[in-house]
Amino acid sequence: MADSNFLTEHNARHVWHPMAHPAEMRANPPVIISGGEGTEIIDIDGKRLLDGVGGLWNVNLGYSCDPVKQAITAQLNELPYYSAFRGTTNGPLIELSVALAEFFAPDGMVRSFFTSGGSDSVETALRLARQFHKLNGQAERTKFVSLKKGYHGTHFGGASVNGNQNFRRAYEPLLPGTIHLAAPYAYRNPFNTDDPKVIAECIVQQFADEIAFHGADTIAALIMEPVLGAGGVIVPHEGLMPSLRSLCDKHGILLIADEVITAFGRTGAWSGSRLWGVKPDLMCTAKAITNGYFPFGAVMIGSRVADVFEADRTAMGSIGHGYTYSGHPVGAAAAIACLAETIKKDLPSNAAARGVELFDGLEALKERYPLVGDVRGMGLMCAMELVSNREDKTPVGKDTVAKVYKGAYEAGVMVRTSGNNIILSPTLIITSQDVARILEALQAGLKAAG
């Protein structure tokens, strides 16, 4: 590989990074990652870092998962690609859809529609929701409801339901008729309380009010993450999702669970919907479905939606939507192996146990460092929110966040920053020693930030 200076220079000149300004990338060149092993990544200078980010919430099984690598290699040799558009299919994709139907049976899912990633999955689910209502003779049900601070990817549909202006403003006008409810964010919310149960009740009331205002017959679906990830790991009260489900049922509105992060064990449950005991109508998955080794995703479809499409014999019942890489045989082979490894290793149990250790350690850091205003977590998705003043909760500036990041990096742990949050989503195979290493590095970062 070319040397580090050459790569950095050319990166600055020719690469346009997601979610970043090219000038910022020149001023603060990104770390060049050149290797991965187990729970660690290795930078171009040979520095080993415990990966506190798990790639991007997706490398649940770590970087050395041989069964997945072997499945990918074998499939590349057997059939590296063929389309799954009408007329052809392939063995891995059929086998995977059987495995996924079994895996997500407790969530009420029966069929899979394959995609190339999370944004594709969200786009697909939104389209299926609208088409479902058209097939049901309710063509005017076109609006979508979502939560502020929710993240649903970057396609126009997903951006429209995203609950963060940073991902919307430059691209407006987006889909008309999207309705945003408050985030279930106990630390900051418009309800003048920090009680998650009261906040959940207020959000449910908001949903009821919006339904009454817009008319249920105009609303296609509510889309939400069971635990909000990119918005800063916001864990709702256990009653929120079930209560929203009940309102959806009462008013004929579909529930789309965006489980791009939460499916496959990250929260300590097999899926985020199962964590809260809810059966969605559609479920978006991606990320850990292939452990990040191959771009892939699946929208899981419940029988209520599948049956309506099945029963329709007009041209409208055929879905006018699909990707060149829908059902890619290599992605499907990777996903089959990931699913088997996730089950064999019982990853949710480790995520739950290590998640408690991590959360408790973060709470202890909050006791010691006034910079830590709030700590949130469920399983192995955690966030530490940094404030310059605990009384008025003033968010710290970029420089302070950067100091915490750098301190942790120098201490040998990669963390992710998002606004004034430090986000942790390590691989689900970490040990208690790894958790201790993350906490020590964060402490070093907090000390460095003063």
User: Where do contacts with ligand PLP occur on this chain (CB under 6 A)?
Assistant: 117-119, 122, 151-153, 225, 229-230, 258, 260-261, 286
Q: Is 65 or 260 the residue whose CB approaches ligand PLP more closely?
A: 260
Cβ closer to ligand PLP: 295 or 317?
Answer: 295
Shortest Cβ distance from residue 59 to ligand PLP (Å)?
Answer: 13
How far is residue 296's CA from residue 335's CA, in Å, rounded to a whole number?
A: 8
- The SS3 call for residue 416 is strand
Is the CB of 15 or the CB of 436 nearer to ligand PLP? 15
Which stretches of 76-167 are assigned E, i.e. beta strand? 109-115, 143-147
Reduce the DSSP state of residue 443 to 3 states and report it: helix
CA distance 373 to 389: 8
Asked if residues 240 and 203 have their Cβ atoms less than 8 Å apart, the reply is yes
Minimum distance from CB of 228 to ligand PLP (Å)? 8
Residue with smaller CB distance to ligand PLP, 57 or 359: 57
Report the nearest approach of ligand PLP to the CB of residue 341 (Å).
20
**CA 369 to each of CA 212, 364, 381, 385, 426: distance values in angstroms, whole numbers, following the listed order:** 46, 9, 21, 12, 23
Q: For residues 122 and 284, is the Cβ–Cβ distance under 8 A?
A: yes
Nearest residue to ligand PLP, by Cβ distance, number only: 118
Closer by beta carbon to ligand PLP, 199 or else 261 = 261
Smallest gap from residue 52 Cβ to ligand PLP (A): 16
Partner residues linked to 385 by β-bridges: 374, 421
Nearer to ligand PLP, 61 or 230 (CB): 230
- First CA to last CA across the chain, in angstroms? 38
Q: Tokens at residue 190, please?
A: 């418009």
Q: How far is the CB of 266 from ligand PLP (least distance, A)?
A: 11
Give me the long-range contacts of 2-6 (CB less than 8 A, separation at least 24). 4/32, 4/44, 4/45
Instruction: Enumerate the β-bridge partners of residue 226.
Output: none
CB 108 within 8 A of CB 199: no
Q: CB of 259: closest distance to ligand PLP in angstroms? A: 7
Nearer residue to ligand PLP within complex by CB, 125 or 220: 125
What residues are paired with 284 via a beta bridge? 258, 299
Of 254, 369, 354, residue with least CA distance to 39: 354
Min dist. Cβ of residue 262 to ligand PLP (A):
8
> How near is the Cβ of 158 to ligand PLP at its closest, in Å?
6
CA distance 398 to 325: 38
The least CB distance from residue 16 to ligand PLP, in Å, is 16
The H or E element spanning position 406 is: helix 398-410
Whichever of 131 and 154 has its CB closer to ligand PLP, that residue is 154
Of 92 and 292, CB closest to ligand PLP: 292
Nearest to ligand PLP of 122, 269 (CB atom): 122
Strand runs (DSSP E) across 67-142, as ranges?
Answer: 109-115
From the CB of 286, what's the least distance to ligand PLP, in Å?
A: 5
Q: Residue 111 in contact with residue 301, Cβ under 8 Å? A: yes
Largest CA distance in the chain: 66
